[in-house]
């Protein structure tokens, strides 16, 4: 019997066979600073989350290219305080590592809190409360090796190393500078690995814009001296051969060895649109890695990536996609939905046929606490998002194309009219619907393409009237600044206590 089962299993695996080809980015929309770890043939990946709550989305995969979100690491206020966090604040670059049955995640709360570690036995469940590490700077990483835990991080342009206790966060040695990179600005995002007698130190340089790159150094001793790879940078699109690529800003990587022995790198990058702008934030990319005969890693053959990667992969296991249509009478919102800063949960409720958002008087320009807002990332340059809602008098509610408090376009219902507001720094412009609405349920739609967001509304969900369109570029990271990407948010503001009922939400990519 056991032989029969093993035979069947072997046949199934053989039928699955190795995979080939996948699309980059492997996780679309604002998912920067990816870090990955392997546990047998299960892979886990985390990203930065800045001013959004819960923090640090966590994904699972069986093949490193098809990923499914399984939750968030930081789900409680005791782990994540976000008062005053904007798109430069909150949670920066996390690292995930697994050691002897325990998962660790180390990151920085840049809204005045510093570096901390949480751990869990079950990455789909709750993680511990933070232990704080008395080392400044950003981009912390952990490296478990020969019974010790090493912390690396970036402090004032220096990559530092210290042995620590990951359960208490206590430093066991002083901080030692181990590398400054190859001379590019902002050496950061360090990760350490051990392979064939060498300690490898992978970092990013150049800053997280067009000059971003990944470099590597190695040493026979963990605390150096580290010598740079002669082929640095091992990954960048800041060069002539890739100046025409839609993918730019590749950097901030992490290496992982798969269960079949192959090596892979995850990194961030962005897809530019409408010229040299990007709006979807920095996304998560994946690349195969080989080691050359001198013992240096070579990323995807020539240190360049494509949107369509024609390379061998692990046997591919497709993952269930996030729900594109949500009926708030039946469905709960999935893990892709996030709040701005620490939410006042009493302002969000399911009524049985709607998601009720109640205003707390804070609007989307709010910079300290949380307005009533729940959103999901824009994942595609060509997309459509539709919601339908009804409002009571005194409330403003609708759909926001939200980059940050100072940069958002909103389509909303107020006083029986549909309006569109552009908020661009100090400038605000309002477009009003010509006629007041008759029905009490209103459908609001935003479509996006490379150059424009197009706003329309309907009173039956079938026939839409276009109100206006606005250039995408004013909301881009290049114009708005910050480290995030567009989040499509349902919101309610206006008189505190007044509410809006949202009946559904639909997000879809527009195929081209
Ligand atoms: C992160 C740094 C970076 O801490 O951007 O792209 C910062 N790299 O490593 C915020 O994501």
Per-residue pLDDT at 307 exceeds 70: yes
Over residues 70-88, mean pLDDT: 97
Ligand 1 centroid, distance to 453 Cα (angstroms): 28
The minimum-distance atom of ligand 1 relative to the CA of 188 is 9
- How is residue 262 annotated by DSSP? -
Return the pLDDT at 10. Answer: 41
What CA–CA distance (Å, rounded) separates 186 from 208? 9
Strands ordered across the beta sheet of 247-257: 247-257, 263-271, 283-291, 297-299
What amino acid positions are annotated as catalytic residues?
Answer: 33, 188
Please tell me if the CB atom of residue 48 comes closer than 6 angstroms to any atom of ligand 1: yes
Report the chain's mean pLDDT, rounded to a whole number: 95
pLDDT band of residue 406 (cuts 50, 70, 90) is: very high
This prediction has a pTM of: 0.95
> What is the DSSP-derived secondary structure letter of residue 332?
P
State yes or no: pLDDT of 1 exceeds 60.
no
**pLDDT over threshold 80, residue 234:** yes
Q: Specify the ligand 1 atom closest to the Cα of 93.
A: 4
Half-sphere exposure (Cβ direction) of 44: Cα atoms closer than 13 Å? 23
- Tens of pLDDT, residue by residue over 92-134, are 999 999 999 999 999 999 998 899 999 999 999 999 999 999 9
Beta strand pairing call for 198-205 and 188-195: antiparallel
Interval 19-26 mean pLDDT: 97
**What does the pLDDT look like over 345-385, one tens digit per residue?**
999 999 999 999 999 999 999 999 999 999 999 999 999 99
pLDDT at 398 over 70: yes
| Beta-ladder partners of 196 | none
Q: Is 109 in the pocket of ligand 1 (CB under 6 A)?
A: no
Question: What is the residue with the minimal CA distance to atom 5 of ligand 1?
Answer: 208
Does residue 434 come out as left (phi exceeding 0), alpha (psi in the -120 to 50 range) or beta?
alpha
Query: What's the pLDDT score for residue 395?
Result: 96
258 contact partners, CB below 8 Å, separation of at least 6: 38, 41, 43, 64, 264, 314
- Which residue has 């507001």 as its token pair? 421
Decide: 63 in ligand 1 pocket, CB within 6 A.
no
Tens digits of residue pLDDT in 427-436: 999 997 766 6
Whether 137 lines ligand 1, by a CB cut-off of 6 Å, is no
442-448 and 383-391 beta bridge pairing: antiparallel
Q: State the pLDDT at residue 440.
A: 86
Please say whether the dihedral angle defined by the alpha carbons of residues 64, 66, 488 and 250, taken in this order, is positive or negative. Answer: positive
Question: Using CA of residue 404, residue 406, residue 407, residue 413, what is the dihedral sign?
Answer: positive
Q: 273 CB under 6 A from ligand 1?
A: no
75: region left, alpha or beta (phi > 0 left; psi from -120 to 50 alpha): alpha
Q: What percent of the chain has pLDDT over 90?
A: 92
Task: Please give the Cα distance from 386 to 204 (Å, whole number).
Answer: 38
| Atom 3 in ligand 1: residue holding the nearest Cα | 208
Ligand 1 centre to CA of 189 (Å) is 7
* pLDDT number for residue 434: 62
pLDDT digits (tens, 9 = 90+) for 322-349: 779 999 999 877 999 999 999 999 999 9
Which residue, 400, 399, 415, 387, is CA-closest to 495? 415
Query: By three-state DSSP, how is residue 472 classified?
Result: coil
**Mean pLDDT confidence for 313-327:** 91
Ligand 1 geometric centre to CA of 47 (Å): 10
When pLDDT is cut at 50, 70 and 90, the band that residue 445 belongs to is: very high
Q: Which of 429, 430, 455 is nearest to 442 (CA)?
A: 455
pLDDT of residue 442: 95
Does the C-beta of 139 come closer than 6 Å to ligand 1?
yes
Question: Considering the chain, what percentage of its residues have pLDDT values greater than 70?
Answer: 96
463-469 long-range contacts, CB within 8 A, separation 24+: 465/433, 467/411, 467/418, 467/420, 467/431, 467/433, 468/420, 468/431
């Amino acid at each position: 019997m056991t032989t029969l089962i093993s035979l069947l299993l072997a046949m199934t695996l053989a039928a699955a066979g190795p995979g080939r080809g996948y699309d980059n980015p492997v996780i679309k929309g604002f998912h920067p600073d990816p870090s990955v770890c392997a546990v047998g043939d299960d892979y886990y990946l985390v990203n930065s989350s800045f001013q959004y709550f819960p923090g640090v989305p966590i994904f699972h995969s069986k093949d490193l290219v098809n990923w499914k979100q399984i939750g968030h690491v930081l789900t409680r206020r005791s782990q994540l305080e976000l008062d005053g966090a904007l798109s430069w604040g909150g949670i920066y670059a996390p690292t995930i590592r697994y050691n002897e049955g325990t998962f660790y995640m180390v990151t920085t709360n840049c809204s005045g809190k510093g570096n901390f570690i949480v751990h869990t036995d079950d990455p789909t469940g709750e993680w511990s409360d933070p232990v704080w590490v008395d080392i400044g700077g950003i981009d912390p990483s952990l490296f478990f090796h020969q019974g010790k835990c090493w912390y690396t991080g970036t402090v004032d342009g220096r990559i530092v190393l210290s042995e620590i206790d990951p359960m208490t966060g206590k430093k066991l040695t002083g901080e030692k500078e181990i590398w400054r990179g190859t001379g590019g600005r902002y050496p950061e995002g360090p990760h350490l690995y051990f392979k064939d007698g060498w300690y490898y130190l992978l970092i990013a340089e150049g800053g997280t814009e067009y000059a971003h790159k990944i470099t590597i150094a190695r040493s026979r001793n963990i605390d150096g001296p580290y010598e740079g790879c002669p082929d640095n940078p091992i990954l960048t699109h800041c060069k002539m051969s890739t100046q025409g690529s839609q993918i730019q800003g590749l950097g901030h990587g992490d290496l992982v060895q798969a269960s079949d022995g192959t090596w892979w790198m995850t990194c961030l990058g962005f897809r530019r649109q409408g010229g040299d702008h990007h709006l979807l934030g920095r996304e998560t990319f994946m690349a195969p890695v080989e080691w050359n005969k001198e013992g240096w890693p070579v990323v995807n053959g020539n240190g360049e990536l494509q949107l369509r990667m024609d390379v061998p992969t692990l046997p591919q296991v497709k993952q269930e996609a996030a729900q594109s249509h949500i009926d708030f009478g039946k469905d709960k919102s999935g893990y892709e939905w996030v709040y701005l800063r620490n939410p006042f949960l009493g302002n969000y409720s399911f009524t049985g046929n709607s998601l009720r958002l109640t205003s707390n008087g804070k609007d989307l320009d709010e910079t300290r606490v949380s307005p009533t807002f729940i959103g999901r990332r824009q994942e595609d340059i060509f997309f459509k998002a539709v919601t339908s809602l009804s409002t009571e008098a005194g409330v403003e509610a609708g759909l926001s194309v939200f980059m940050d408090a100072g940069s958002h376009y909103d389509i909303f219902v107020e006083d029986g009219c549909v309006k569109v507001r552009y908020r661009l720094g100090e400038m605000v412009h309002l477009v009003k619907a010509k006629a007041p609405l008759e029905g009490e349920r209103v459908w609001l739609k935003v479509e996006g393409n490379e150059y424009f967001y197009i706003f329309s509304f309907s009173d039956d969900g079938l026939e839409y009237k276009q109100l206006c369109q606005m250039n995408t570029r004013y909301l881009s990271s290049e114009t708005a600044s910050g480290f995030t990407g567009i989040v499509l948010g349902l919101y309610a503001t206006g008189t505190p206590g007044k509410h809006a009922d949202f009946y559904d939400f639909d997000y879809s990519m527009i195929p081209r």
